[in-house]
Chains A and B, each alone.
Chain A
Amino acid sequence: MQKQEFTISAYTENTIGLLNRITIMFTRRRMNIDSLTVSESAIAGISKFTIVVKDTEERIRKLCVQIERHVEVLKCFYHRNDEVVHQEVALYKVSSESLLSGDHIEKLVREYNARILEITPNFTVIEKTGHKAETQELFEKLNPHGVLQFIRSGRVAITRSNIEKLSEFLRERDRVQTVLDHNN
């Protein structure tokens, strides 16, 4: 099976140490994490991990069920890139002098749909959201004009299917719990 890029979304309780518990599962399998974002999900108290890795679907599937074994993990999904809309944010710092010494930078900002966040006498911060290839391309174009600092966030992603999978999952989980309580 071919390796390809997958976006893993894990919904978890917001507890200390869970980040570690999850990342060591990748280490143990010698999988390199390309990007990792953790933040609160739409449901209060539930965190969402978005993890980008390249591997075979078979290995990713097995990994996801094993992530789900953790007591504090509610659910773990994985998606191919065409199944999600995903973005990253990049910030570029250039000297204000180079911004003002011609219109190259301003043109690039317009051309790449980026925007200027802050201008100070010393430096200017430009922001662009997009796929990694796009933010990278802007970096390469800006760099000849002197990029002082460049940083890119991890990926955030939303599925293309129209239901929020987690709420559906939580409803189902409640139903299952009730059935189990009834049977036991």
Chain B
Amino acid sequence: MTTQNNSSLERDEENVTGAQALIKSLLEEGVDTIFGYPGGAIMPVYDALYDFLDKVNHVLTRHEQGAIHAAQGYARVSGKVGVCFATSGPGATNLITGIADAMIDSTPLVCFTGQVTSPLLGTDAFQESDIVGMSMPVTKWNYQITDADEITDVVAKAFFIAKSGRPGPVLIDISKDAQFAPTSFKYKKYRRIRSYLPEQPVEKKSLIDAARLINQAKKPLMLVGQGVVLSGAEKVLLQFAEKTGIPMASTLLGLSAVPSDHPLWKGMLGMHGNYGPNVMTNECDLLLAVGMRFDDRVTGDIKTYATQAKVIHVEIDPSEINKNIPAEVAICSDAKKALKMLLKLVKDNDHTAWCNEFVPFQEAEYEKVIEKDIYPSKPGLTMGEVVHQVAEATNHDAIMATDVGQQQMIAARYFKFKNSRSCITSGGLGTMGFGLPAAVGAAVGNPTKPVIAFLGDGGYQMTIQEMATIKQENLNVKVVVLNNEFLGMVRQWQELFFDRRYSFTEMHNPDFIKIAEGYGIPARLVRERDDLAAAIDEMLAQEGPYFLEVRVEKEDNVFPMVPSGATISDVRLGPNS
């Protein structure tokens, strides 16, 4: 502690510019990577960065949306705060989609945008945009700095807010004059803010009530959300599940928190989740929801959702408690802390008979859906077999990133995870174009494992330019485009709910192989099942980036499916069931 104070005193004497103070502040926060794109209003910051390249890495993406999704991918694999830079005006507005995505998926980010020089604020100056006003509904906090002396304090506050409690994105807008102005550097991390209480002390009574319900339950089901990953509760969750014998199912963002081959893990919840967990949600007598928010994609019609069950809701954000589903017992806490305390209060138990009730549903789903998806007997290639084979070939030890649509759901269903933080996907916002840049960030954030990006032909083309970033950084990203020449998920809905009226979902695509080769990335096209295994082997043997396009069946559908607004247990296993 004393040495830290001494050293910060030393630094205090330095005279620096606002821009230098900003970079030094990032170093104090342990930032090792920045994703960004320069421009006029942020040039002083980029200039200051140039002197610190031995301490911090900057990844130049090809679009600011790419930078922010990369920062998200980085944050999601590493658990650290993702950082990105953009210039004022269009640079800043290009961040908005990613900020909204990070907000709804609770991803810690600190975004810095340049701003016009402060006397010009409000004058419609060149590249002025009110990014603070625009980002207000989609940031956890934002702030505009026009005085260099505020920089260190605001950066410290931004990092504290982004990562504490329920994490989220923070945006800091810095006018160009504040970047140039002289200031002194003195860094002090934040530990508290008067008006902000990121977590509450856990009430003993709610723990005792919860433990009693858990101990009494005959048919308990645990729902695992991203809160488990964000709080680092993976280990204690397994101890808890094994001690109590409670079966688990996870949300899309909770995937990879529990190894998919764990006997108590029963699959994914929600619209395209597994049959068993969805049906059993409406059969169980106790629903123990941990670090999740009962999104409508998970619950279907809330009026008929788990009405027979008592609900225990463990959730750090008080505004999520009793928002969608009323809780019999609410534990407003970080998942890890709550589970640690509950672990001591619950009895050893065994629910084998109840767990066996999942089996017929698993068998029905296997027979009607899974087998056809991953071992198809019809000629056309399926997304399911590609995902399955890639996952097997990587021994399930890779990081999976996806875009949005059919390929996302298929990847989520069939990849099967061994390690936490290995499923990187856009959940709450469902942002097409997320997959490729998120894979960039994932590869930077965890260089020890290959990153497999499963993308649709539509979503790939939304951020295709990040192929250049992958090449420039020589990242270990294997891009797998599952090309059905349709905006597949929308086409599926048109087929099922709009009388097959395929209004603007057919895609005439460019030659993806040539494009990949143009970016200098080795590429291969697979049209036949017989070529798939060899192509996957070649892809995984290749060091660095690789591009694989697989032409899949054009009009396959993703099942099971809970039609939107339907009851969760009304899962359809096919178009007619």
Contacts and interface: CB of A to CB of B under 8 A. Distances in A.
Interface string A15-44: 011001100100010000000000000000
A73 B144 CA distance: 18
Interface stretch (A79-87, A95-103, A175-183): A175-183
Contacts of A173: 194, 197
A27 to B, nearest CB: 9
B201 A180 contact: yes
Interface string A61-84: 010011011111110000000000
The secondary structure that dominates the A interface is: helix
A179 B201 CA distance: 8
A21 B201 contact: no
Nearest to A24: B137
Interface string B315-330: 0011100110000000
Contact of B199 (A17, A21, A69, A180): A180
B305 interface: no
B57 interface: no
A49 B193 CA distance: 20
Given A65-B319, A66-B319, A179-B201, A71 B193 contact: yes
B175 to A, nearest CB: 14
A88 interface: no
Contacts of A21: 136
A9 interface: no
B366 interface: no
Contact of A28 (B132, B137, B161, B195): B137
Given A62-B323, A65-B319, A71 B141 contact: yes
A57 interface: no
A12 interface: yes
A158 B132 CA distance: 33
B359 to A, nearest CB: 39
B501 interface: no
B161 A68 contact: no
Contacts of B192: 177, 181
Bin chain A's interface residue count.
Answer: 20 to 34
Contacts of A62: 319, 322-323
A55 interface: no
Contacts of A176: 197, 200-201
B201 to A, nearest CB: 5
A183 B201 contact: yes
B172 to A, nearest CB: 13
Given A12-B195, A24-B136, A181-B191, A71 B161 contact: yes
B379 interface: no
Nearest to B160: A71
Contacts of A70: 141
B319 A17 contact: no
Contacts of B322: 62
Nearest to B337: A183
B194 A74 contact: yes
Contacts of B140: 71
Contacts of A28: 137
A28 B132 CA distance: 18
Interface in A157-184: 173, 176-177, 179-181, 183
Interface in B185-219: 191-197, 199-201
A128 to B, nearest CB: 36
A179 to B, nearest CB: 5
A154 B199 CA distance: 34
A70 B142 CA distance: 11
Contacts of B142: 17
A69 B317 contact: yes
B133 interface: yes
Interface of B: 132-133, 136-137, 140-142, 144, 161, 191-197, 199-201, 317-319, 322-323
12 contacts: A12-B195, A17-B136, A21-B136, A62-B319, A62-B323, A65-B318, A68-B319, A71-B193, A71-B196, A72-B195, A72-B196, A180-B201
